[in-house]
Amino acid sequence: MSRNFEEEPTVIVERRNGGSAGVFLAGLAIGAGLALLMAPTSGAELRRNMRRTARRAQRTAGHIARDVRERAGEAIADARDEFETRVKDARSVLKERRRDVNDAVRSGKAAARDARSAFERRLAEARATRSEPETGGD
């Protein structure tokens, strides 16, 4: 018995983002079941058609599941890459900020040293001026 595939109904799957595989499969099953029940066929032929339709639905579900797995894998990989990029950027910013803080601390220490040296110099000058004998011209 040769199969004539041209006479068999064809299922065309359109992919759209945000579509629900469960709704599609439910619609497919309901439509196929109604078509088979409404067709004027014998019981044996009806069962054969139902088995054929069930196999097609199973293959379609397998294709959809594979596509979902692939998309999920891609989404996870993309999310991982994005996360790693953001972590790298954050580390770079932190390193830069740490360098800025260290530079500011070094500058602050140098300014404090300079201010202390200037203060000590002025203090020494003031003490020297005070301790000089006063010359009085009487």
Measured N-to-C along each axis, helices 21-38 and 43-131 cross at an angle, to the nearest 10 degrees, of 170
Whole-number Å distance between alpha carbons of 90 and 92: 5
Is residue 12 domain-resident?
Answer: no
Contact 5, 26 (CB under 8 A): no
pLDDT digits (tens, 9 = 90+) for 84-119: 999 999 999 999 999 999 999 999 999 999 999 999
Which 3 state secondary structure label does DSSP give 69? helix
Is residue 72 domain-resident?
Answer: yes
Is residue 135 domain-resident?
Answer: no
pLDDT of residue 1: 47
Is residue 15 domain-resident?
Answer: no
DSSP-derived secondary structure letter, 26 = H
Contact 11, 60 (CB under 8 A): yes
Contact 13, 45 (CB under 8 A): no
Domain that includes residue 64, residue range: 21-130
Is residue 16 domain-resident?
Answer: no
More confident residue, 122 or 18: 122
Average pLDDT, the chain: 83
Is residue 89 domain-resident?
Answer: yes
Q: Which of 10-24, 38-52, 92-106 has the lowest mean pLDDT?
A: 10-24
Whether residue 133 is predicted with pLDDT greater than 50 in this model: the reply is yes
Token duo for residue 79: 């999310």
Length of the chain: 138
Number of folded domains that form the chain: 1
